[in-house]
Amino acid sequence: MPAALDLSRDAADVTAQLVDIPSVSGAEKVLADVVEQVLRGLPHLTVDRDGDAVVARTNLGRAERVVLAGHLDTVPIADNLPSRVEGPLLYGCGTSDMKAGCAVQLRLAAHLPAPNRDITYVFYDNEEVEAARNGLGRLARSRPEWLAGDFAVLMEPTGGVVEGGCQGTMRIRVTTAGRRAHSARSWLGDNAIHKAAPILAALEAYRPRIAMIDGLEYREGLNAVGIEGGVAGNVIPDACSVLINFRFAPDRSEEQAEAHLREVFAPAVERGETIEVTDSAPGALPGLDRASAAAFVAAVGGEPRAKVAWTDVARFSALGVPAVNYGPGDPALAHTRGEYVEIAAIGEAERRMLAWLTA
């Protein structure tokens, strides 16, 4: 067991402590144990655990409850541990995405026994892998009462700017069919890979929509992200599939997104090709018109922007809890070998959150 977390240190030091405990998705137990241990030592919190997700709550009878959530896992390590400090930057796997945000949560949990709102602190596992394993999703299914609240902040990296809502995401596979033949006698076959050309042409010609919601600009995107086909170097292929990802604005439901894709690729269906939805997750409206969201934006400052990606705010939205993304890391650095976070940004995020929770 690593040494206990020292939450008397500043937020950057706590971030380094978290980073130096490896927690690649599926291997978060050691870090979850350490987080649980330090939270159970705080008498003003009630602490529960489900798998490698740890949830701590104040119970002060406040008029409003907010949820602060962050995932403990990281992508695979890329020779970027242990953490190191170079000037104003803290380097290491998970510094930006999102152990800096988790450090801010832990500091608030330790040093804010009587906030102006009741707080639920959620630290969960398996965010960086497929949705079926997501720890927050597991809690939403089995322990939804643990996630209940009037407003939620997912402390994903946003560069210290409030990012409202999130895009939805859908993947479809469009498959063509042909007829195998020897490539020396190609006229006897029907090349399924060649039949993918109109699909790629439709993607190239597609002009994505820009949606304005609550004053935030969401840019949709429709792109091929994979293609599979071929049997051998001397065989005309009889099947080819194009994997397509649609990132859609949160004013579309999943059903509307699928209907749009089937409209775009209607010519493919007419040619006898098949369309299969392989993965889907809804977006989340920003909800910045809610009083709780407006108060948060006013407290942390800055000009909100759209979250042009999918995040777990969608899970809170599905539970009826308006949520935003806000954290000290830079999303452009997430998952990179040279991942880092600005040390000053971690302290600034903590100060802004503290101001909101004590005003």
Question: Strand, helix or coil at 294?
Answer: helix
Cα distance between residue 42 and residue 5, in whole Å? 12
What residues pair up with 255 in beta bridges, in sequence order?
A: none
Which residue reads 């089995």 in tokens? 142
Query: Rounded distance, CA 170 to CA 244, Å?
Result: 8
Q: How far apart are CA 93 and CA 339, in angstroms?
A: 6
Distances (CA, A) of 225 to 93, 170, 221: 26, 12, 12
CA distance 319 to 296: 20
Q: Which of 349, 313, 345 has its CA nearest to residue 127? A: 313
Q: Sort strands 46-50 and 53-57 into parallel, antiparallel or unpaired.
A: antiparallel
| Local structure of residue 94 (DSSP, 8 states) | T
Give the Cα separation of 40 and 7 in Å (integer): 13
Output the six-digit token pair for 93: 């796997």
Angstrom distance (rounded) from CA 28 to CA 39: 16
Torsion on CA atoms 297, 300, 305, 307, rounded to nearest 10:
-100
CA dist list (Å): 255 to 168, 169, 307: 11, 12, 21
Is the separation of the CB atoms in 14 and 100 below 8 Å?
Answer: no
Which residues are catalytic, by number? Answer: 73, 127
Q: Chain-centre distance of CA 112, in angstroms?
A: 27
